[in-house]
Structure 1
């Protein structure tokens, strides 16, 4: 019995060792397999099929591509508007999206209808150019309720979740009027070309009135303006004013609150041979620059924000919204004063793309251009 007991104990111990060895090998196999998968997922994020899993950053970029954008415009008049549209389209294309332009020909009812159409057609985002709250607010609120992102430019909208871009209209006005005062020696007679009913125009008019209040040696002798066919209307009305004030010295300068108005007034003054009258405008385009460069032109200065940059910046804030970023209610775009004395004389022509070579502060803006959007643009370009 004693011998048998010792043998039994030895056999039992051997059996336990065999079992433990087998379990150990199995555990090592499992650990190796689990460790291999873990390493693969950490370094290459490989799924069961062996292909890499996209990172969160890549998923974010992919989600921003292929967006369909509606651009709802109150009017599409002149080269400023065409360059603004160019800025919008170029930036959306660089982000891998598409743009459709809806122009309302200065008809607010049509603009509201175009906004409704964009909502019903399921655009991912809506850009608004000008317009009035009375015509647009209901549609904008409906777009926001349907999770369509909206960014406006120069519109008097105050809707939660909607960012509004605007030029610093007070500064635009002050820049041009201060230059006018400097050139005129602090006194004179002014013709104002302006139109009511537009948020930026209203802000410019407030600053204009403040200038007259602070400079009593300047007098306004005439005022006019029409947003329909603005350049042609300004030209014909300026012709009438010139007939009313036919003598040299009767009119010191024209202050034009929009470059379309400045173009019309400039043509009327040139044709009448009254180039002693100087023109000071707001906004800038390639066509405007050539008129300012011309030494025979009465248009001598204009304050503006690059229209291409305005379009680009507006798009960037829309894409920030797409990404879920919080954006300010109002974004102010800083202007630059462009003067004839800063530009080369004709026949060398300068366009707005080259203007930064001659005028400090002009050029492509980095506003709204986040690191993620730079990555999106780079990935789309590949």
Structure 2
């Protein structure tokens, strides 16, 4: 969450997602990559890196953030001549644990995990490591020796959006927080939020809610509608801070439909759908902080291949977010693929790249 919780989510969000593709009983989704060059590849261990099978074990698959994250994973694996199988878990941690066991038993060459909790994942991850299967986790508070954990700069994302909120409202006003507890990225974002309130004594939180559900955006919209009815007058609510884009989408729709044009919304995460809303001058969502969800997937894959190659990888990799606001963007509608033209630092991250990985991509094209 993002939380893809994108993703806080945020997405590490206990949300139920669409498109369930469980490994036990249901056929997982596969994306076949191009065949690797049989004549050899750049690194010394090149032949052993051909046609690798990569498992992506997701807690949730919800919204465009998750879709773009999966796209990034598939794109990078295919460039390296491998194929991806996606196991989704409907927000069910027991199912996620079962999917992890299934991937181990099916002898995948590397395993990527998306969200989840230590309680659900640790036993399976340790089993994978014992069997020499590299594991790269995203947005899970795992501390297993040999496992690299990726996280977005969650505190920085929260700080970027909250600082802009405070600036825009002149350091005083009433705000609504939309957040859910119990997930690593959300807990990191909450640290920044608490510090923000401690620093800005004239900004008051008058309501806080948030739940990870099968229809998070729709349920958030209904909850925000109730808050707007409770505070019906102009000035009752100055701004809304949403800690995940699924929260932001629902709240923005409620505010816009209620005609409460005085309320501005600040979110976290970025997808094509989110960007479309932020560019709409009639939409209350005016700014967000995010890491390109495709980049998250690409970087995660690169570290998995480094591990398969025998390289040393760090225990933790922090992905650097960027701040995106409406005033940076053109009037004509763009996608996140074009965002780097307008927002410095967006997309095309080189984190996790090595010279031999780039050579291997070249060989896999042939």
The TM tier, using the shorter chain, reads 0.7 to 0.9
- One of 238, 255, 277 as aligned partner of 1:252: 238
Where does 1:204-223 land on structure 2 (aligned, <5 Å)? Answer: 204-223=189-208
Where does 1:340-355 land on structure 2 (aligned, <5 Å)? Answer: 340-345=326-331, 348-355=332-339
- One of 120, 128, 133 as aligned partner of 1:135: 120
Q: In structure 1, how many angstroms separate the alpha carbons of the residues matched to 2:212 and 2:274?
A: 18
Shift of residue 361, structure 1, vs aligned partner? 1.1
2:342 maps to which residue? 358
Secondary structure of the 1:128 match is: strand
Where does 1:1-382 land on structure 2 (aligned, <5 Å)? Answer: 57=42, 59-228=44-213, 229-345=215-331, 348-382=332-366
Secondary structure of the 1:364 match is: coil
Q: Which runs of 4+ in 1 moved over 3 A?
A: 54-59
Secondary structure of the 2:260 match is: coil
1:5 maps to which residue? none
Shift of residue 230, structure 1, vs aligned partner? 1.3
Q: What do the CA deviations read for 1:332-364 (whole angstroms, capped 9, x no partner)?
A: 00000000000012xx21111100001111121
Secondary structure of the 1:354 match is: helix
Shift of residue 246, structure 1, vs aligned partner? 0.2
Secondary structure of the 2:337 match is: coil
Q: What do the CA deviations read for 1:59-87 (whole angstroms, capped 9, x no partner)?
A: 52221111101100010001000000000
Shift of residue 55, structure 1, vs aligned partner? 7.9
Q: Is the 8 A contact 2:53 2:110 kept in 1?
A: yes
Structure 1 residues 246 and 56, CA gap change in structure 2 (3 angstroms): closer
Q: In structure 2, how many angstroms separate the alpha carbons of the residues matched to 1:306 and 1:121?
A: 31
Structure 1 residues 113 and 350, CA gap change in structure 2 (3 angstroms): same
Larger Rg: 1
Q: In structure 2, how many angstroms separate the alpha carbons of the residues matched to 1:367 and 1:350?
A: 25
Q: In structure 1, how many angstroms separate the alpha carbons of the residues matched to 2:247 and 2:43?
A: 48
More helix by share: 1
Q: Which runs of 5+ in 2 are unaligned?
A: 1-38
Q: What do the CA deviations read for 1:44-63 (whole angstroms, capped 9, x no partner)?
A: xxxxxxxxxx8895652221
Kindly indicate whether structure 1 or structure 2 has the higher relative contact order, using CA contacts under 8 Å at least 6 residues apart: 2
Q: In structure 1, how many angstroms separate the alpha carbons of the residues matched to 2:134 and 2:68?
A: 23
Q: In structure 2, how many angstroms separate the alpha carbons of the residues matched to 1:165 and 1:81?
A: 16
Secondary structure of the 2:137 match is: strand
Q: Is the 8 A contact 2:113 2:138 kept in 1?
A: yes
Q: In structure 2, how many angstroms separate the alpha carbons of the residues matched to 1:157 and 1:56?
A: 33
May I ask how many residue pairs the two structures share in their alignment? 327
Q: In structure 2, how many angstroms separate the alpha carbons of the residues matched to 1:82 and 1:69?
A: 17
Q: In structure 1, how many angstroms separate the alpha carbons of the residues matched to 2:113 and 2:217?
A: 23
The TM-score with structure 2 as length reference comes to 0.88
Shift of residue 100, structure 1, vs aligned partner? 0.6
Secondary structure of the 1:209 match is: helix
